[in-house]
Amino acid sequence: MGVKVFRPRSPGRRGMTGFDFNEVTKSSPEKSLTQPLRKKAARNNHGQITIRHQGGGHKRRYRLVDFKRRKLEVPAKVAAIEYDPNRSCRIALLHYKDGEKAYIIAPVGLKVGDQVVSSDSADIKPGNSLTLAAIPLGTVIHNVEIRPGKGGQLARGAGSQAVLVAKLGQYCQVKLPSGEVRQILSVCRASIGQVGNTDNENVKIGKAGRNRWRGRRPSVRGMAMNPIDHPLGGGEGVGKGHHPVTPWGRPCKGYKTRNNKRTNSAIVKRRK
């Protein structure tokens, strides 16, 4: 796994970097574990745009990744490491001993031929899934559940990792990638290791068209618009006397919008 640097044979190639895909061992996905992914271009059921700057992009099929790891006590062999266009990390194809197949997030160090299992008696090695109560303190984990049985929701992006820092009764304290320390029920599951493809943060897009392949449309600065289109628009020359706001006047860029008092008690330490 590494970053590939392109030769500057065109303006778009100059400064562009990409993946070498050395860790990927299979080019086509497992057909039984994929389903169609219909593009919505950030429109709701009335056809109105609810998120700006989304649309287009390359055609994809969705890979059904097993975030719950509910197949307990059944060992599985890693058959392949695959590319997934729907997420920044790689995925691993598992062949269970009973014949079933599944995808999981591929952690650092997981290779073809390795054996993984979802069990509280499993070894503390990359790819195994255990409850937080069965994981030793200080262990690096990923794909962490918030609610028992809902499936992993935390630390799933490329290179991300969480750390189990404390156990207090029926709760465990987990330090998340943002630096926030949160209380989670000890019966929630997590996978061992750091999420793979750690070089994802080092890749330079290089050209605008590469973002269009991802379904990201151009974004125009508010200061470059007319006053009728944006609160920051207009003026002679470059005006800097405004506070950053959205086109509808709501403060942004540092303005706190979190309004979820229900989970405030679960946060031991804020990310800032």
pLDDT tens, residue by residue, 188-242? 999 999 999 999 999 999 999 999 999 999 999 999 999 999 999 998 888 888 8
**pLDDT in the model for residue 194:** 98
Residue spans of the domains in the chain: they are 3-201
pLDDT at 240: 82
67-107 per-position pLDDT tens digit: 999 999 999 999 999 999 999 999 999 999 999 999 999 99
Q: Give tens-digit pLDDT for 8-29.
A: 999 999 999 999 999 999 999 9
pLDDT > 70? residue 129: yes
Q: Which CATH number fits domain 3-201: 1.20.1240.10, 2.40.50.140, 3.40.50.12280, 3.30.465.10?
A: 2.40.50.140
The Cβ of residue 16 has, within 10 Å, a number of other Cβ atoms equal to: 19
Contact 37, 58 (CB under 8 A): no
pLDDT value, residue 256 = 87
Q: What pLDDT does 1 receive?
A: 63
pLDDT digits (tens, 9 = 90+) for 83-92: 999 999 999 9
Contact of 209 with 202, CB cutoff 8 Å: no
Neighbours of 53 (CB within 10 A): 13
Q: What pLDDT is stored for residue 63 in this prediction?
A: 97
Position 100 scores a pLDDT of 96
Q: What is the chain's percent helix, strand, coil content, to nearest 5? A: 10, 30, 60
Per-residue b or e along 109-125, where b marks 16 or more CB atoms closer than 10 Å to that residue's CB: ebeeeeebbbbeebeee
* pLDDT value, residue 241: 85
Sign of CA dihedral 141, 94, 38, 212: positive
- Identify the pLDDT of residue 258: 85
The span from the CA of 68 to the CA of 70, in Å, is: 5
Q: Which of 46-60, 178-192, 236-250 has the lowest mean pLDDT?
A: 236-250
> In the predicted model, is pLDDT for residue 250 greater than 80?
yes
> What pLDDT does residue 128 have?
97
Q: What is the mean pLDDT of the chain?
A: 95
Once rounded to an integer, what is the mean pLDDT over residues 265-272?
A: 90
